[in-house]
Amino acid sequence: MTDFWNGSPALRQRLERVVAVIDSTIGSSDFPLRETAALSAEAGGKLLRPALLILGSSFGPGANAERIERLAAAMEILHIATLVHDDIIDEAPLRRGKPSLYATVGVKKAVLAGDWLFSRCFLLASEGPAPEGAAPEDSKGLARLIGAVCSAEISQDLEKYRYSASVRRYLRTIAGKTAALFSLALHAGATEAKAETGVTQALRRAGYDMGMAFQVIDDILDFESAEDVLRKPVGKDIAEGLCTLPLIYALQADRKGMDAILSRGMRPGKAVTPRAAVAAARRASELGGVERARADARRFTQRALAEIERLPASGSRDELMSLAERLLHRAY
């Protein structure tokens, strides 16, 4: 269990039950790679999506704790499944500092392990007891979400190594990749608990803005992370051909100069060398790209906070506000 939630003992306790559901869902099957897949689940994420779902469910009167924990587990398994397939796509040797499933078992088995995890996600989401009519809604939400995530990933892939400076395209991609998941988590929790429509809508918007801020910060970390903290080298995204917000702003500020740095290590349509990527990251910082991106993340966070403030006062509301702040200021 991550120590990210040490300050929130009640939430932490529920997340421990979610982890137990994940373990038993993955462990109790006859899937030949279940142990490897379980390792991938244990590799220590922050369990943000399950936490959001649980927090969302506290805004309505009708939450069934067991069902909420099952849905929260489904969200996390979905997240793990997308990471397993992402690592194939990125040919990533590591995930959260440990060998990725892809690196451990190879492409073929990692494809199937991801598929299997998707199926566990839907199985959990469709298991009762559910309030009348809620289960299809959840399944539909999850299905839409996977579709959005796939679309975003494909778009990102199609744009690779082009370093085109479009803020709009960037925002659309991270909306599908991250904000949609955060948004669904809060919204689905509230819907399950039969919260009022105004409340579920506010949570949906707050989740979206929190997700946008989260991903912008995640992308900023590529420009300043120390390897011992995030366990990934500076400029890794750039080397992989991704054009994230700080780089976009740097390209807008000095296209010629940035192109010169990038093309030093680049064959057209191919990866830049790690060295050129580090140089590009540093220069992007100097050009104010990181600062501008951080200002955007702050704006998204403020929008999220404004939505959350309108919710009825409660411990969960405070928790959600503090979470939005912490995600903005995190360094890993």
Structure-token pair, residue 78: 């979905």
**57 contacts 329 by C-beta, under 8 angstroms:** no
With respect to a second copy, which residue has the nearer C-beta, 88 or 248?
88
Rule CB under 8 A: which of 20-39 touch a second copy?
29-33
**Cβ 42 to a second copy, closest distance in Å?**
20
> What are the residues whose beta carbons fall under 8 Å from the beta carbon of 62, sequence distance 6 or more?
131, 192, 193, 194
The answer to whether 313 contacts a second copy (rule: CB under 8 A) is no
The answer to whether 64 contacts a second copy (rule: CB under 8 A) is no
**240 contacts 160 by C-beta, under 8 angstroms:** yes
* Greatest alpha-carbon span in the chain: 60
With respect to a second copy, which residue has the nearer C-beta, 11 or 179?
179
Q: Which region among 41-49, 125-133, 185-193, 246-254 touches a second copy (by CB under 8 A)? A: 125-133
First to last CA, the chain: 16
**Cβ 53 to a second copy, closest distance in Å?**
18
The answer to whether 44 contacts a second copy (rule: CB under 8 A) is no
Rounded CA gap, 247 and 281, in Å?
Answer: 7
The answer to whether 85 contacts a second copy (rule: CB under 8 A) is yes
**Cβ 100 to a second copy, closest distance in Å?**
14
Q: Which of 43, 46, 64, 139 binds a second copy (CB under 8 A)?
A: 139
What DSSP line would sit under 101-113, residue for residue?
HHHHHHHHHHHHH
The answer to whether 168 contacts a second copy (rule: CB under 8 A) is no
Contact string (CB under 8 A) for a second copy, positions 100-119, x = contact: -------xxx-xxxxxx-xx
With respect to a second copy, which residue has the nearer C-beta, 34 or 317?
34
Number of residues that bind a second copy (CB under 8 A): 48
| Single-letter amino acid code for the residue at 91 | E
| Single-letter amino acid code for the residue at 90 | D
With respect to a second copy, which residue has the nearer C-beta, 144 or 255?
144
Rounded CA gap, 248 and 238, in Å?
Answer: 11
What 3-state DSSP class applies to 2?
coil
Q: How far is CA 297 from CA 202, 293, 328, in A?
A: 19, 6, 7
Q: What is the dihedral of CA 147, 150, 154, 157, to 10 degrees?
A: 160
With respect to a second copy, which residue has the nearer C-beta, 179 or 202?
179
- List interacting residues with a second copy (CB under 8 A): 29-33, 82, 85, 88-89, 107-109, 111-116, 118-123, 125-128, 130, 135-137, 139-140, 142-147, 149-151, 153-155, 157-158
